[in-house]
Structure 1
Amino acid sequence: MLVLFALAIVLMLGFRLNDGSLLGSGFTLSNLASAISDPLYAAVLLRSLAIAGVVTLATVVTAYPVAYYLAFHAGARRGLLLFLVTLPFWTSYLLRVFAWKIVLAFNGVLNSVLLGTGILSQPSLAFLNTPAAVVVTLAHAYAAFAILPIYVALETIPRSLLEAASDLGAHPFARFRRVVLPLSMPGVLSAALVVFVPTVGDYVTPALVGGPSSTMIGSIIQAQFGKANDWPFGAAVSTLVMLVIAAVILLVAMASRRFGRRS
């Protein structure tokens, strides 16, 4: 962690403070000031936060029922179902994104199904190269990252608490609302954080299934370190994203501590 993570951050900060190479003498804050003041990068960052927020919400909302079933109703099939949850990770992330591109393409699976059922009279361009395509692809890609933390939180809930709630006359929904959901919130928050942080900086998925309206901040950073060859400015934009994500992590940590005190 020290060599591969902390050293990389130090090098990035060094590039951010420099107007040329890392070993140069011209240290400046102009790169960071430009990244903060330019409305283009602010708009792309806000879009990235919005897309990542929608992805996180969609992933957690769809992952919770799966995790709940695994924890309380799967029984002897739990091991097999957990294996199936992690099975997509046996393939490359790029292959999974390309699979969604085939599904959502103009002549893809979704258009073929809609044409075959008579819902559409001609193929639609509304599925691919849109923010919705990015959201769906990312939500699928990070589904297991949300299911597993929530499952662990649900699995550790003492079943005696549910029995006590039943003995006190609580119906199933009341048990879920008053016992299960509050005690599982640390897992929900962890899952949200695990999904939100990498999706903010994702640039592969927007490049493959998104369009101009779904360009994210990761694409800007990748372009600065790649085609533009402007590493100092790329490092400055990366630092700005890190500061925003650090603020989000702090808020989640405070919320998690709050739920921990309630439990």
Structure 2
Amino acid sequence: MLTGERRQGLALISPTLLYSLLMLAAPLIMVLTFSFWTQNYLELDTTLTLDNYREAWSKPIYSTLIFRSLKISLIVTLVTVVLAFPIAYYLSFHVKQRKALWLFLITVPFWTSYLLRVFLWKVILGYNGVLNTALKGLGIIEEPLTFLLYNANAVVLTLAHAWAPFAILPIFVALEKIDRSLLEAAEDLGDGPVRRFFRITLPLAMPGVVASTLIVLIPTVGDFITPKLVGGTDGLMIANMIQIQFGKANNAPLGAALALSSMLIVASISAVIFLLGKRFGGKVQ
């Protein structure tokens, strides 16, 4: 028999559980089911098979796109987190007043559409874009640079800019939680700024670093808008192939297999990052 408190607890948790099942679990189960079916354009065969996974893991084009996606995403994550840490550090340790204003300014890019920000980078890096026009006006170059756009570098730059606020805020929160008395004690004991940073600040800020890493890494692997607009043929990622399979190719089972394969790889990398962060973070040396 359920007591009144247990019934009340179930009543509170049931809407959340139902929402999670309908909006998160159900679509994932549908994609998983699709990945074991086959489709010949308009004909869908529901016979269970592993053919889609064999094709996803055996064809060079898919492995190339997955490797490229991971490479771009890891570079974006590294660049974003490394550049975000000094900003978060300055905001936490050196800004004494109006921190809310600084946080407000960091979130200003969220006011505009993500698609619009990608288009703006396309305008900046284009053949006749802002950067080439400025360089020609200064006399630095005679002809517009062609390597700025439609390659993996353009994808990295655009994604790093788009996800920078997501990396700054978790690190800032972790730095704000650090007990300043620990730093004062280390200084009294003779530790210099560099030693204090690596023995106290960085380990205690590691939860924020790990959170920022995962927040940037996971979505960027599955981004397909940015590679399509600024990546060109050399900047296409696995998400673009998944979109093609679900769209023009009309082969949803193969697209589902590619999506789940990518999800499995990203989940494995994320688990390793989380375990490493847990191993080395949160402990004062």
Give yes or no for contact 2:125–2:148 (8 Å, CA) kept in 1. yes
> 1:216 corresponds to which letter in structure 2?
M
The residue aligned with 1:16 is 35
The residue aligned with 2:148 is 127
Tell me if 1:70 matches 2:85.
Answer: no
Out of 75, 85, 95, the residue aligned to residue 106 of structure 2 is 85
Tell me if 1:34 matches 2:50.
Answer: no
> 1:55 corresponds to which letter in structure 2?
V
Shift of residue 23, structure 1, vs aligned partner? 8.3
Give yes or no for contact 2:207–2:282 (8 Å, CA) kept in 1. no
CA deviation map 1:152-177 (0-9, x unaligned) = 11110100101001110111122112
Out of 120, 137, 143, the residue aligned to residue 116 of structure 1 is 137
**How is 1:58-207 mapped onto 2 (pairs within 5 angstroms)?**
58-207=79-228
Give yes or no for contact 1:14–1:22 (8 Å, CA) kept in 2. no
Distance change (3 Å), C-alpha of 1:259 and 1:236? same
CA deviation map 1:195-250 (0-9, x unaligned) = 01011111100000111111100000011111111100000000100110110121
CA distance in 2, matches of 1:88, 1:158: 31
Shift of residue 260, structure 1, vs aligned partner? 4.2
Q: Mind listing any 5+ residue stretches in structure 2 that lack a counterpart?
A: 1-19
The percent identity for this pair of structures is: 51
Report the secondary structure of 1:142's partner residue.
Answer: helix
**Equivalent residues, number:** 263
TM-score (norm 2): 0.89
CA distance in 2, matches of 1:133, 1:180: 33
Q: Mind listing any 5+ residue stretches in structure 1 that lack a counterpart?
A: none
The residue aligned with 1:6 is 25
Distance change (3 Å), C-alpha of 1:96 and 1:174? same
TM-score (norm 1): 0.96
CA distance in 2, matches of 1:25, 1:104: 47
Report the secondary structure of 2:107's partner residue.
Answer: helix
CA distance in 2, matches of 1:170, 1:116: 50
Give yes or no for contact 1:52–1:200 (8 Å, CA) kept in 2. yes
Shift of residue 70, structure 1, vs aligned partner? 1.1
CA distance in 2, matches of 1:24, 1:218: 24
**Which protein shows a greater Rg?**
2
Q: How big is the alpha-carbon RMSD for the aligned residues of Structure 1 and Structure 2?
A: 1.5
> 2:31 corresponds to which letter in structure 1?
M
Tell me if 1:221 matches 2:221.
Answer: no
CA deviation map 1:61-103 (0-9, x unaligned) = 1100110011111111211110011110011100000010000
